[in-house]
């Protein structure tokens, strides 16, 4: 039982806040945190209207636009065709030492949650290794994994699974 008015006020306020946040659940966990504003990776920026000087990775005409790298089943080696694409990212990061990136590894739906989290990490680390060998400093890169928890495609055909075996470079806001 609540015993005094200030507790009652707090209770009403917090209940209201909870109800508001329940109604706004779409914004609930994603809206307010300062480090949560990551630029979209795929083609949503209009090429004709924006100045991409501050975020060239969003410019479809830039070699930095390609930020997703795909892997074969049970494989954790960056494809040779991707090595040259990573050159461009390395060049940019070496010239912009304050710029940080996250590399997010993913797996397809086969396997089990925690082991797949570790497998996804092998993919993000593989991309990091290529960048490190090109001189990018460790302090500019954080590698993490979503395992199979955030698939781009939820279908289980070969093409969908191939889409999910992927590491993404995400340029962080300064």
- Which residues sit at the interface with another protein, rule CB under 8 A? 1-3, 7, 10-11, 13-15, 17-18, 21-22, 25-26, 28-33, 35-36, 38, 102, 104, 111-115, 117-119, 121-122, 125, 142-146, 149-150
3-state secondary structure of 97: coil
Q: Looking at beta carbons only, is 82 or 105 nearer to another protein?
A: 105
> How far is C-alpha 48 from the geometric centre of its chain's CA atoms?
26
Minimum Å distance from CB 94 to another protein? Answer: 21
Q: Looking at beta carbons only, is 33 or 48 nearer to another protein?
A: 33
3-state secondary structure of 70: strand
Bridge partners of 107? Answer: none
**What distance in Å separates the CA atoms of residue 151 and residue 160, rounded to the nearest whole number?**
9
Minimum Å distance from CB 48 to another protein? Answer: 30
CA dist list (Å): 5 to 10, 11, 12, 19, 44: 9, 10, 10, 21, 51
Q: Looking at beta carbons only, is 33 or 98 nearer to another protein?
A: 33
Q: Looking at beta carbons only, is 16 or 96 nearer to another protein?
A: 16
């Amino acid at each position: 039982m609540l015993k005094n008015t200030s507790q009652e006020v707090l209770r009403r306020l917090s209940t209201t806040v909870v109800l508001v946040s329940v109604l706004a659940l779409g914004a609930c966990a994603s809206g307010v945190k300062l480090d949560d504003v990551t630029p979209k990776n795929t083609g949503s920026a209009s090429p004709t209207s924006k100045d991409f000087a501050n975020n060239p990775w969003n410019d479809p005409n830039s070699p930095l636009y390609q930020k997703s790298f795909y892997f074969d089943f049970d494989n954790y080696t960056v494809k040779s065709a991707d090595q040259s694409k990573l050159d461009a990212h390395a060049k940019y990061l070496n010239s912009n030492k304050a710029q940080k990136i996250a590399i997010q590894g993913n797996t397809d739906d086969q396997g089990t949650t925690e082991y797949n989290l570790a497998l996804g990490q092998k993919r993000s680390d593989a991309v990091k290794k290529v960048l490190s060998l090109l001189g990018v400093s460790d302090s500019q890169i954080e590698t993490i994994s979503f395992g199979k928890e955030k698939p781009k495609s939820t279908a289980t055909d070969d093409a969908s699974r191939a889409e999910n075996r992927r590491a993404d470079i995400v340029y962080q806001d300064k």
